[in-house]
Amino acid sequence: MTDKNWDFSGLKAIVFNGTLTKSPGESHTDLLIKISTDIMKKHGVGVEVIRTIDHDIATGVYPDMREHGAATDEWPDIYKRVEQADIIILAGPIWLGDNSSMTKKIIERLYACSSLLNSKGQYAYYGKVGGSLITGNEDGVKHCTMNTLYSLQHLGCVIPPQADAGWIGEVGPGASYGDTKEDGTREGLDNDFTNRNATFMTWNLMHLAKMLKDAGGIPAYGNQRSEWDAGARFDFTNPEYR
């Protein structure tokens, strides 16, 4: 077996949990997040989990909504930690087959900051990696992660292989992830697919984050917004019908 002495210390991860349940209420998604964050912590990654609904994050599409009429807005503070993170995980529940309003709010606020550039002129999210974790009792893991992973790559993150994991039960209402069943066991906790995917996702996030960090980010050529706006075209030529 490959050497397991991987050192990911120095990496930071930020996880957004889009549950609609405020603390101290239980979030089933939190349990799935824990699979991933336990592995990361064990290997030296600094981890912060933010339950979005517990925070006074304004709704809107500007970096700081206090400049646009909001009395308060925690987002600018949270965004500072996003800036320092190497790994961003969008986690949350499924409602009516889709991501929650809390997950959408975070995507809107991340998007609001997408005009910011790093020192090389790339979008500020360049160099980060993204993943997604979804739970529900019915149906929709892939639908939700198609959207979360798409959003993250559109912002500038790298998406590692198999960067999503989730759990749902048989179609229809029923127990949620981690609920105690009649026989005393816990729903979903022995699901090999969920466990394997959460594990593989976590390692791939760490591998790619480290690879990018060691490389100093994504090579800065052909992808700098500031250069493009200044007229650089990076060998782009107008296409012609053959």
Nearer to a second copy, 14 or 118 (CB): 118
- Answer for which of 7, 9, 42, 119 binds a second copy (CB under 8 A) is 42
Question: What CA–CA distance (Å, rounded) separates 240 from 242?
Answer: 6
CA 131 to CA 36: how far, in whole Å?
11
Q: Which of 111, 116, 181, 216 binds a second copy (CB under 8 A)?
A: 111
The answer to whether residue 116 forms part of the interface with a second copy (CB under 8 A) is no
Part of the chain binding a second copy (CB under 8 A), chosen from 9-17, 29-37, 79-87: 29-37
- If the CB atoms of residues 14 and 169 are measured against a second copy, the closer one turns out to be 169
Q: Is 193 exposed, middle or buried, given 0-12, 13-18 or 19+ CB atoms closer than 10 A?
A: exposed
By the rule CB under 8 A, 8 interacts with a second copy: no
Which residues are paired to 164 by β-bridges?
Answer: 132
> Residue 90: is it exposed, middle or buried by C-beta count within 10 angstroms (0-12/13-18/19+)?
buried
- Report the nearest approach of a second copy to the CB of residue 81 (Å): 20
> 163: left (phi > 0), else alpha (psi -120 to 50), else beta?
alpha
Q: How many residues bind a second copy (CB under 8 A)?
A: 113
Residues 172-211 that bind a second copy (CB under 8 A): 172-173, 178, 188-196, 198-200, 202-204, 206-208, 211
Q: What sign does the CA torsion over 38, 39, 45, 49 have?
A: negative
Phi and psi angles of residue 98, each rounded to the nearest 5 degrees, phi first: -140, 170
12 makes contact with a second copy (CB under 8 A): no
Structure tokens at 109: 């606020």
Nearest to 52 by CA among 89, 1, 93, 102: 102
Cβ nearer to a second copy, comparing 80 with 186: 186
Site for a second copy in 117-156 (CB under 8 A): 120, 122-123, 125-126, 138-143, 145-147, 149-151, 153-156
Q: Smallest distance, Å, CB 26 to a second copy? A: 7
Among positions 54-83, residues that touch a second copy (CB under 8 A) are: 59-61, 69
